[in-house]
Chain A
Amino acid sequence: MLAKELVAASTEPLILSLLSKGESYGYALIQEVKRLSGDRIEWTDGMLYPVLHRMEENGWIKARWVEIENGRKRKYYSIKKDGHHALKEKREQWAVISSVFKSLWKEQHV
């Protein structure tokens, strides 16, 4: 399991990255992250929604209700232009951290 702080810091960039591939809904986002991380990132189910709402308020993503089979509704989220900007910024920041670790750990192995 990953440290709580690391999960918290990576939640928004992960959501933005997933939504940049296409619109999705809360439950699917949780499952996708779980699958991609080999079950090592498990978001507390209910806690994802306040984050999504905050990102919606920030103007990064937008939501719409879609009717699925037998009258059930689902709230789908998609990324907005500001979200792409935010993602770009966050990607650059994570890339810096990743490249620092890479070069540090490479030195140690040699």
Chain B
Amino acid sequence: MFDLDQAIAEWRRQMAAEGLKSREVLDELESHLRDEIEQQDLAGASREQAFENAVQQIGCAAALEGEFAKVGTRTSVKNAVLALAGIPNQYIDESMNRSNLEPRWATYTKATAFLAPAVCLWALSILYVVPKVQQICLEAGGYRLPGFVRVMIGLSEHGVLICGAIVLLLGLLEWRSTAWPRYRRATVGVGTFVLNSVVLVSIFILVIVALTYAPALFRHGK
């Protein structure tokens, strides 16, 4: 005699063994299976036949697992990173469709607007804050600024050259690359986010250095 509950339990074990481990997913698939079996029951199929048909229709664990894996953490991490850079995930989903792309001017205007405060702040820091902090370090006992900030200062000395290179690179991409429009928004967005973060971290380090060495300065003064 065919026992439906036992057959379903066996089917669950088999799906789990083939890699579909989530209990909630299996619960949901089982619920679907029972709905389908009930439907076929009403249509006059035998229980066993209905079960066989329903299992066949639902598909094998390997194919389902592949589809469920796409929903997993990888996409949510990717979406979180993109969200931090200000790019909602539907833009990526629909990035194959050119009519959905943000216009070129909008991307570059936004990037410039978001970068402007950080660039101005960093330029002012290089002009007024960095020499002061360097002096504090020197007078507090001949310390040097942390490596990260020294690299940033070094790069800033070639700021015009680097900006020129970036503009040239973007120009080249706009001119030659057919794939670029699809990635423009994401790339420019992430670039803007990274540059903003680097400036923020640098200024934070400068403040910490100044606060750390200033007391030593007073002691030396005494």
Where the two chains meet, the residues of A that have a C-beta atom closer than 8 Å to any C-beta of B are: 25-28, 44-47, 49-51, 53-54, 57-58, 65, 72-75, 86, 89
Contacts and interface: CB of A to CB of B under 8 A. Distances in A.
16 contacts: A26-B28, A28-B35, A45-B36, A45-B57, A47-B67, A49-B32, A50-B64, A50-B70, A54-B71, A54-B75, A57-B75, A65-B27, A73-B31, A74-B35, A75-B31, A89-B90
B27 A73 contact: yes
Contact of A54 (B32, B58, B63, B70): B70
CB-CB nearest 9 A-B residue pairs: A50-B67, A46-B59, A27-B35, A46-B58, A45-B57, A45-B58, A54-B71, A46-B64, A53-B71
A62 to B, nearest CB: 14
- Of the four ranges (under 10, 10 to 19, 20 to 34, 35 or more), the interface on chain B belongs to 20 to 34
Contacts of B63: 46-47
* Chain A interface mostly: helix
A52 to B, nearest CB: 9
B121 interface: no
Interface of B: 25, 27-29, 31-32, 34-36, 57-59, 63-64, 67-68, 70-71, 75-76, 89-90
Contact of B32 (A45, A51, A58): A45
* Chain B interface mostly: helix
A47 B57 CA distance: 10
A105 B158 CA distance: 61
A40 B64 CA distance: 23
Contacts of B90: 58, 86, 89
A106 B23 CA distance: 52
A27 to B, nearest CB: 4
Given A26-B32, A53-B68, A57-B75, A47 B59 contact: yes
